[in-house]
């Protein structure tokens, strides 16, 4: 991939620049040490003049090569080959000028070979390694022409040559590891960049405005919709900027307020022609807390709410018409047959008309209860006293079919009349759908963290997966005798009392759970 190749060449350039600076520092250091210690340690060098000339030349060439690689950023691989070859020549001559291989020069050889393994390809780095081996071993044969005792260092040279091959192999393993990591990091960076572009595209397309502020009220993320609603230039959607500079009215509004998570408020500004609805969300990220402001046109939002209300009203009206049509058709049919029928049949028809009229009345009454905005009176309810009383007073006919389980006294805040309606509806539904072979259902009450769970459970067939999504919708019922408003009303009563009514999947039967805030007395 072209981008990955450019990335690799850039890494090679920076590493090569560091290595060139390192070798210049080493050569200058060796030259200074030689000059300062020559008078006292001149006998330690076999060819001291050669040692000094080589170091001086090495410092000069290293300086030139450092400037070259810094100024000329092309042909980095070729420059590095010349640099490594220069290092081998200098180190080989320094080894020859001493009394044979020593620890200091051996380490410099090892660093050179390992660096070559990292910075150039495997074949060329192998050539560098072989040249180092040859220069270390065979230079002593040249030295032996002048002094036979130099042959005694051949064992050290062989050991050092073996170490060169080990370092070369280690370097190649390290290079492969680095390449794998580099490819992985490059792929991840490409994927991250792609996701960022997708996120930016989504933010630019949606009509909802988003502003993310840091602790200093600087905008770290925004989208064009937010800029449009706030009346600030669209160019800010791509930059980070202080909020007080672009939208001082909003800055003054939120600066002195303690913004709570989930808080909503209306905002108007002289810079904007919109009445803006603002929702606050706290974003917890490592090392900082960000504030997300969700901005919407309040007028458009109100229009959408009205449209939803009208759509719900239309759906409700259609459902009521559908529910009433069936019993009304039965009444009309029975009335047509009444005059020409016998007396015995008239009694049956009268009973049918009365039954269907009662059904229509129940549908109308449930509908009125659903739309009636009845005033609530939440009180503290002690469940251990309330539930037995409810069973005796309102469920006396089915009390023998109820198993009530409660291990400890618990209290909740709820409108008493609405809680009665919810529990009566859930209990009678459970008895209606229970397994005919079992003569009981369960009411289980227990604490969970800071809440109280009230479970009403039967042991019938349960609710089919396809029906679970429609359980709490008005006029949805799996029974031909039900109006489909009981669960809807129960769900609405629970929400009005800051509680939740949910269907809990069971291996056998159905379980409806009321989850309320626990009150500690």
Residue-level pLDDT at 151: 44
Distance in angstroms (rounded) separating the CA atoms of residues 65 and 76: 11
Q: What is the residue range of 504's domain?
A: 378-517
Q: So what's the pLDDT on residue 163?
A: 63
Q: Look at residue 477 in the predicted model and tell me its pLDDT.
A: 63
8 Å CB contact between 153 and 101:
yes
| Co-location of 240 and 212 in the same domain | yes
As to burial, measured by CB atoms within 10 angstroms (0-12 exposed, 13-18 middle, 19+ buried), residue 446 is middle
Q: Are residues 181 and 229 in the same domain?
A: no
Phi and psi, residue 460, nearest 5°: -90, -145
Q: How far is CA 341 from the centre of its chain?
A: 73
β-strand pairing of 378-382 with 264-268: unpaired
Residue 452 lies in a domain: yes
Which residues, including other chains, have CB under 8 Å from residue 139's CB and lie 6 or more apart?
Answer: 92, 95, 96
Same domain, 126 and 216: no
- pLDDT in the model for residue 1: 43
Residue among 107, 97, 13 at smallest CA distance from 57 = 97
What is the tens place of the pLDDT at every residue in 54-90? 888 988 998 998 898 888 878 888 888 888 888 888 8
Q: Round to whole Å and give the CA distance between 44 and 27.
A: 19
427 in a structural domain: yes
Q: Distance (Å, rounded) from C-alpha 216 to C-alpha 226?
A: 19
Specify the pairing of strand 288-297 against strand 275-285: antiparallel
- Assess if residue 319 is contained within a domain: yes
Q: Quote the CA–CA distance of 103 and 92 in Å, as a whole number.
A: 14
Residue 201 lies inside a defined structural domain of this protein: no
12 and 178 Cβ atoms separated by less than 8 Å? no
Rounded Cα–Cα distance for residues 98 and 140 (Å): 11
Domain contains 113:
yes
Residue 514 CB partners (closer than 8 Å, separation 6+): 422, 426, 453, 454, 455, 456, 494, 499, 500, 501
CA distance 354 to 71: 102
Q: What is the pLDDT of residue 290?
A: 86
With tokens 């409810």, the residue in question is 390
CATH number for the domain that contains residue 275: 3.30.450.20
Phi, psi of 469 (to 5 degrees): -70, -20
Using alpha carbons, list the distances in angstroms from residue 294 to 212, 213, 244, 256, 303: 9, 11, 18, 19, 18
Query: For residue 441, is it left (φ>0), alpha (ψ between -120 and 50) or beta?
Result: beta
In terms of domains, do 350 and 222 share one?
no
The domain boundary residue, chosen from 299, 315, 343: 299
Is 68 found in the same domain as 84?
A: yes
* pLDDT at position 492: 84
Residue 326 and residue 311 share a domain: yes
d(Cα 110, Cα 128) in Å, to the nearest integer?
11
Half-sphere exposure of 487 (CA within 13 A, CB side): 23
**97 in the same domain as 142:** yes
Which of 289, 213, 220 lies closest to 250 in space, CA to CA? 213
If DSSP codes are grouped into helix, strand and coil, which group holds residue 280? strand
Is 102 inside a domain boundary? yes
Residues 139 and 62 in one domain: yes
Q: Alpha-carbon distance 504 to 507, whole Å?
A: 10
Residues 118 and 104: beta-carbon distance below 8 Å: no
> Which residues, given as ranges, of the chain have pLDDT below 50?
1, 4, 145-146, 148-152
Query: Given 371, 403, 423, which residue is the final one in a domain?
Result: 371
| Same domain as 267, residue 153 | no
Query: In this structure, are residues 373 and 330 in contact, taking their beta carbons and an 8 Å threshold?
Result: no
φ, ψ of residue 446 to 5 degrees: the values are: -155, 155
170 shares a domain with 35: yes
Indicate whether 200 belongs to any domain. Answer: no
Kindly tell me the burial class for residue 59, based on how many C-beta atoms sit within 10 Å of its own C-beta (0-12, 13-18, 19 or more): buried
CATH of the domain at 398: 3.30.565.10
- Shared domain for 427 and 455, answered yes or no, is yes
- CA–CA dist 456, 513 (Å, integer): 7
Of 93, 84, 69, the C-alpha closest to 18 is: 69
Task: Identify whether residues 352 and 235 lie together within a single domain.
Answer: no
Residue 246: predicted pLDDT = 81
**Which residue shows structure tokens 């672009």?**
246
* Overall domain count for the chain: 4
């Amino acid at each position: 991939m072209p981008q990955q190749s450019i990335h690799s060449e850039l890494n090679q350039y920076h590493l090569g620049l560091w290595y060139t600076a390192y070798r210049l520092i080493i050569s200058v250091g060796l030259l200074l040490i030689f000059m300062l210690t020559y008078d006292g340690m001149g006998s330690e060098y076999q060819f001291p003049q050669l040692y000094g000339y080589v170091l001086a030349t090495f410092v000069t060439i290293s300086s030139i090569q450092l400037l070259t690689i810094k100024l000329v950023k092309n042909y980095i691989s070729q420059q590095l080959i010349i640099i490594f070859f220069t290092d081998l020549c200098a180190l080989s001559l320094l080894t020859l000028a001493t009394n044979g291989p020593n620890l200091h020069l051996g380490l410099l050889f090892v660093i050179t070979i390992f660096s070559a393994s990292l910075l150039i390809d495997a074949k060329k780095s192998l050539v560098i390694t072989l040249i180092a081996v040859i220069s270390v071993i065979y230079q002593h044969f040249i030295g032996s022409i002048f002094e036979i005792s130099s042959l005694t260092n051949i064992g050290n040279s062989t050991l050092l040559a073996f170490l060169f091959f080990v370092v070369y192999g280690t370097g190649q393993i390290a290079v492969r590891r680095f390449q794998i990591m580099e490819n992985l990091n490059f792929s991840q960076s490409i994927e991250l960049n792609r996701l960022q572009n997708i996120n930016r595209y989504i933010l630019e397309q949606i009509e909802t405005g988003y502003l993310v502020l840091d602790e200093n009220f600087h905008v770290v993320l925004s989208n064009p919709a937010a800029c449009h609603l706030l009346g600030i230039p669209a160019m800010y959607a791509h930059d980070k900027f202080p909020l007080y500079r672009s939208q001082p009215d909003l800055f003054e509004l939120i600066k002195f307020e303690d913004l709570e998570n989930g808080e909503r408020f209306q905002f108007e500004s002289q810079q904007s022609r919109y009445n803006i609805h603002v929702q606050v969300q706290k974003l917890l990220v490592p090392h900082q807390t960000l504030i997300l402001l969700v901005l919407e046109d309040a007028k458009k939002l109100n229009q959408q709410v009205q449209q939803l209300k009208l759509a719900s009203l239309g759906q409700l009206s259609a459902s009521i018409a559908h529910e009433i049509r069936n019993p009304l058709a039965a009444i009309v049919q029975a009335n047509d047959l009444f005059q020409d029928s016998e007396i015995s049949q008239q009694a049956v028809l009268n009973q049918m008309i009365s039954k269907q009229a009662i059904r229509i009345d129940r549908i109308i009454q449930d509908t009125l209860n659903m739309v009636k905005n009845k005033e609530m009176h939440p009180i503290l309810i002690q469940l251990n006293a309330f539930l037995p009383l409810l069973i005796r007073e309102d469920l006396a006919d089915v009390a023998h079919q109820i198993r009530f389980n409660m291990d400890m006294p618990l209290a909740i805040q709820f409108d008493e009349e609405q809680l009665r309606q919810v529990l009566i509806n859930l209990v009678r539904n459970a008895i209606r759908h229970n397994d005919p072979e079992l003569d009981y259902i369960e009411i289980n009450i227990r604490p969970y963290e800071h809440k109280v769970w009230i479970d009403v459970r039967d042991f019938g067939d349960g609710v089919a997966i396809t029906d679970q999504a429609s359980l709490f919708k008005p006029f949805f019922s799996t029974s031909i005798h039900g109006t489909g408003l009981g669960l809807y009303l129960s769900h609405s009563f629970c929400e009005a009392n800051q509680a939740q009514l949910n269907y809990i999947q069971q291996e056998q039967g159905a379980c409806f759970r009321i989850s309320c805030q626990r009150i500690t007395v």
